[in-house]
Amino acid sequence: MKILIIGANSYVGARLYLDLVKEFGEDDVTGTYHSKQISKKFIKLDVTDSQNTLGTIEKIRPDIIVDVVAMASPAWCEAHPEEAMEINKNGTENILEAANKINARIIYISTTGVLNPADVYRKTKLAAEEIVKGCKSGFLIVRPGLVEGFSPNTENDRPFNRILKNLDQKTPAIYDTSWKANVTWIGHISEVVILSIRRGIKNEVVIVFSEGKRSRFDIANDILSKFGVKVEMKNDNDTSAPVQVDLSKIEELRLPTHTYEEIVSKMVDEIHHRDKFKLE
Ligand SMILES: NC(=O)c1ccc[n+]([C@@H]2O[C@H](COP(=O)([O-])OP(=O)(O)OC[C@H]3O[C@@H](n4cnc5c(N)ncnc54)[C@H](OP(=O)(O)O)[C@@H]3O)[C@@H](O)[C@H]2O)c1
Q: What is the pLDDT of residues 219-230, one digit of tens each?
A: 999 999 999 999
Q: What is the pLDDT of residue 280?
A: 87
Can you tell me the mean pLDDT for 207-224?
96
Minimum CA distance residue for ligand 1 atom 33: 46
pLDDT at 91: 98
Residues with CB under 6 A from ligand 1: 7, 9-13, 33-36, 45-48, 68-72, 87, 91, 109, 111, 125, 144, 146-147, 156, 158
d(CA 85, CA 126): 11
- Among 129, 50, 61, smallest CA distance to 99 is for 61
CATH code of the domain containing 111: 3.40.50.720
Measured from the Cβ of residue 39, the count of other Cβ atoms closer than 10 Å reads 17
> CA angle at residue 191 from 250 to 14, to 5 degrees?
130
Residue 224 lies in a domain: no
- For 88, the domain range is 3-154+182-209+239-257
pTM > 0.95: yes
pLDDT at 242 over 80: no
Relative to the CA of 12, which ligand 1 atom is closest? Answer: 16
Smallest CA separation from ligand 1 atom 11, residue: 68
Count of structural domains within the chain: 1
Which residue's CA is the closest to the ligand 1 atom numbered 21? 10
Reported as a single tens digit per residue, the pLDDT across 186-209 is 999 999 999 999 999 999 999 999
Q: What is the atom index within ligand 1 of the atom nearest the CA of 47?
A: 32
List, in sequence order, every residue forming a beta bridge with 33; answer none if it has no partner.
44
Please indicate, yes or no, if residue 204 is contained in any of the structural domains: yes
Per-residue pLDDT reduced to its tens digit, 91-120: 999 999 999 999 999 999 999 999 999 999
Q: Ligand 1 pocket test: which of 10, 214, 263 has the largest number of ligand atoms within 8 Å of its C-beta?
A: 10
257 pLDDT band (50/70/90 cuts)?
Answer: very high
Distance 8 CA to ligand 1 centre (A): 9
CA of 68 to the centre of ligand 1 (A): 6
Sign of CA dihedral 250, 253, 256, 257: positive
Q: What separation in Å is there between the alpha carbon of 176 and the centre of ligand 1?
A: 24
Residue 264 lies in a domain: no
Give dist(CA 182, CA 244) in Å, integer: 11
Closest CA to 64 of 133, 6, 114, 10: 6
State the average pLDDT for the chain.
97
Best residue for ligand 1 mutational test, from 4, 5, 6, 11 (most atoms within 8 Å of Cβ): 11
Looking at ligand 1, which atom is closest to the CA of residue 73?
20
Per-residue pLDDT tens digits for 45-84? 999 999 999 999 999 999 999 999 999 999 999 999 999 9
In a domain, residue 7? The reply is: yes
In this prediction, residue 196 carries a pLDDT of: 98
The protein residue with its alpha carbon nearest to ligand 1, atom 8, reads: 111
Ligand 1 geometric centre to CA of 228 (Å):
31
Lowest-confidence region among 41-55, 180-194, 238-252, 262-276? 238-252
Q: Of the given ranges (17-21, 142-146, 148-152, 241-245), which has the lowest mean pLDDT?
A: 241-245
Mean pLDDT throughout 165-175? 98
> Cα separation of 189 and 195, whole Å?
10
Atom 46 of ligand 1, nearest CA residue: 72
Using the atom order of ligand 1, give the atom closest to the CA of residue 159. Answer: 3
What is the position in ligand 1's atom list of the atom closest to the CA of 156?
Answer: 19
Q: Is residue 56 part of a domain?
A: yes
Domain membership flag for residue 243: yes
Q: Is residue 171 part of a domain?
A: no
Q: Does residue 173 lie within any of the structural domains?
A: no
**Greatest extent of the chain over all pairs of C-alpha atoms, in Å:** 54
Calculate mean pLDDT across residues 155-176: 97
Which atom of ligand 1 lies closest to the CA of 34? 40
* The pLDDT of residue 5 is above 90: yes
- Centre of ligand 1 from the C-alpha of residue 11, in Å: 7
Query: Rounded distance, CA 57 to CA 2, Å?
Result: 11
Residue 243: pLDDT band with limits 50, 70, 90: confident
